[in-house]
A and B are shown apart, each in its own frame.
Chain A
């Protein structure tokens, strides 16, 4: 990532924090203006809605133009990889040009061009191996997945979007799942990703977007480990079905099911504990999601009551627990306990409420 982009990102971190302070009334308008002056942001920063619209329209333009090229050229399947590679390279170049322009860097066009560029490059790889070089299962798809992981990782490093980091991790897990010991590799890779990138979550030398990529990779690592450990996923061979001739594989052994049961129960608790101890809300949220999945897994195997009872009881407990937590935090000294508060601090409350009523509708 270019130096001036990192500088701009650091300034934007401060400006975003200052916007939250102003929104909460913690600083005056004059103070906010002074902070903005001292931390100038040279790039145009549209609201998320504008960026989504730009992404959608840019994607439509790129796909239609490429489709026109394919229809006009009508390549044979053995030569189609050339067009895919050309389109992919052109889109990646467009993304890079936009990223270098302060007026265009944050409008959503970089993400659209970069994403479709990599998709077409990966498609080109697939067609090259499959139709041209005749490298079929399992090597061909493995090379394609490896290529996808590498390209998305490079995009995350160059342009800093956490979405590419996640896609790189996804490609890597899909690749590892196709190996004979895929499940063990998922656990090993997930643990490695989590512990390696956890060290960089607050690293000052890393750009803010790279730190966010590190956070996404920590989450991806935790999800990968959980997906490998979950008892339901084990019994239904979720990982094994990525391999060729997976239906011929034997079912899980008793010892595997024991370890899987323990992992399904313990991992979410460990992740929640880690989130609370480190006060990293994204880790805590991941742990809560994993806990919900584990409870669903428990219900699948242990039929204590009809589903409607489970839904009502769990909904009621969750609701009351949330109210109790809110009350407990609010009654702490200065409205906080152990570094947690129920106050929104500097979050965008309007955006949270809008999310709520749009989900309801």
Chain B
């Protein structure tokens, strides 16, 4: 870089990213960039060409949220006046319209990635899926089709959004499907408390762990089978959140916390090892944070004792976690 560049004395008017604009000019003069590249990059650096895609996407997303919020409020305030059948039909018809539009504007199905060509595609699809979920929930609460088994409608929502996610290659819908599935397991366990006897939060914890393991196993298996391999990170991250959440729940809310802490450390250690080898940063980070949180329980458990020493020990453990993160980042050689 020239001395002028280093000191920031550039002969450019305002309205420019001066560092990039100067670099583009220099790279073109030195033959690194072609004249065509220089023209485009220079326009962007000088703000003669600006992308409004973020604003368009944000507006689409907020629009979907406002619409679904308004429809939910409409259902809440008017279901007695209008009648469940009419409301259910109206919402269902709107959802069907959205999904039909998505079907017409989507590329053909493939097991690989099929990116959408229309800017609003993801959001129309999301609107359709959310309306389907709203409609099912509304009809269930009004007509009681499933009776005491009403939480099973969440499984129906999960299955439907999973199908849509795969057909239309949508990670957004996949995360909705996984969340609905986990909610189905969580809600049904709570309702089963009466039949199981006294309340059983341990069962809820087991469900979270089972869902976590299931999601991770399914995600890895589908990637290996070449079935939407780019969906793997959604499965794995959701699975790890549930799994570590269940383990941490055991650490912090049960009397048998030493066993849960050991299980947590084993799970976190295994996850960290595998994700380190696979150069997967988010699972590694989740494992380190979960292990650190779990160890805090061991540090602060029991009454009395030297509180200051415990806090210092917790700080030292934090330093160890930091060192692990630092070294892992260097060794993984990923950004």
Residues of A within 8 A of B (CB): 3, 6-7, 10-11, 13-14, 17, 21, 26-27, 31, 34-35, 38-39, 44-47, 49-50, 53-54, 56-58, 60-62, 64-65, 67-69, 71-72, 107, 109, 199, 201-208, 278-281, 284-285, 288, 306-323, 325-326, 329, 336, 339-347, 352-354, 356-361
Residues of A within 8 A of B12 (CB): 204
Residues of B within 8 A of A281 (CB): 50-52, 54-55
Given contacts A68-B307, A72-B308, A325-B56, 17 further A-B contacts (CB under 8 A): A38-B1, A39-B23, A45-B335, A54-B322, A57-B292, A60-B315, A202-B17, A204-B19, A315-B62, A315-B67, A321-B59, A322-B59, A326-B120, A340-B50, A340-B52, A342-B56, A361-B179
Flag if B308 contacts A285 (CB, 8 Å): no
Flag if B51 contacts A202 (CB, 8 Å): no
Flag if B77 contacts A319 (CB, 8 Å): no
Residues of B within 8 A of A202 (CB): 14-18
Flag if B44 contacts A318 (CB, 8 Å): no
Interface CB pairs A-B, < 8 A, 23: A10-B19, A17-B17, A17-B20, A21-B37, A49-B285, A53-B285, A61-B315, A62-B315, A64-B311, A65-B312, A71-B307, A204-B10, A207-B8, A279-B50, A280-B47, A281-B52, A313-B70, A320-B63, A326-B119, A342-B51, A345-B53, A347-B51, A356-B172
Residues of B within 8 A of A310 (CB): 70
Closest to B7 in A: A205
Flag if A204 contacts B18 (CB, 8 Å): yes
The majority secondary structure among interface residues of chain A is helix
Does B186 have its Cβ within 8 Å of any Cβ on chain A?
no
Give the shortest distance, in Å, between A283 (CB) and chain B (any CB). Answer: 11
Does B155 have its Cβ within 8 Å of any Cβ on chain A?
no
Flag if B53 contacts A315 (CB, 8 Å): no
Closest to B67 in A: A315
Does B319 have its Cβ within 8 Å of any Cβ on chain A?
yes
Give the shortest distance, in Å, between B205 (CB) and chain A (any CB). Answer: 21
C-alpha spacing A13/B329, complex, angstroms:
22
Flag if A54 contacts B67 (CB, 8 Å): no
Give the shortest distance, in Å, between A80 (CB) and chain B (any CB). Answer: 15
Q: Which bucket holds chain B's interface residue count?
A: 35 or more
Closest to A321 in B: B59
Out of B32, B53, B309, which one reaches A34, CB within 8 Å?
A: B32
Flag if A57 contacts B325 (CB, 8 Å): yes
With A34-B32, A72-B308, A202-B15 known as contacts, the answer to whether A57 contacts B6 (CB < 8 A) is no
Number of A-B contacts (CB under 8 A): 265
Does B111 have its Cβ within 8 Å of any Cβ on chain A?
no
Residues of B within 8 A of A340 (CB): 49-52
Closest to A30 in B: B32
- Binary contact readout B30-55 vs A (1 if CB under 8 angstroms, 0 otherwise): 00110001001100110111111111
Residues of B within 8 A of A347 (CB): 51, 53-54
With A38-B27, A208-B19 known as contacts, the answer to whether A311 contacts B53 (CB < 8 A) is no
Flag if B56 contacts A322 (CB, 8 Å): yes
Flag if A11 contacts B73 (CB, 8 Å): no
Flag if B175 contacts A357 (CB, 8 Å): yes
C-alpha spacing A7/B326, complex, angstroms:
25
Flag if B8 contacts A312 (CB, 8 Å): no
CB under 8 Å from chain A, chain B span 157-200: 171-172, 174-176, 178-179
Flag if B62 contacts A65 (CB, 8 Å): no
Flag if A308 contacts B53 (CB, 8 Å): no
Closest to A65 in B: B315
Flag if B329 contacts A50 (CB, 8 Å): yes
Closest to B322 in A: A57
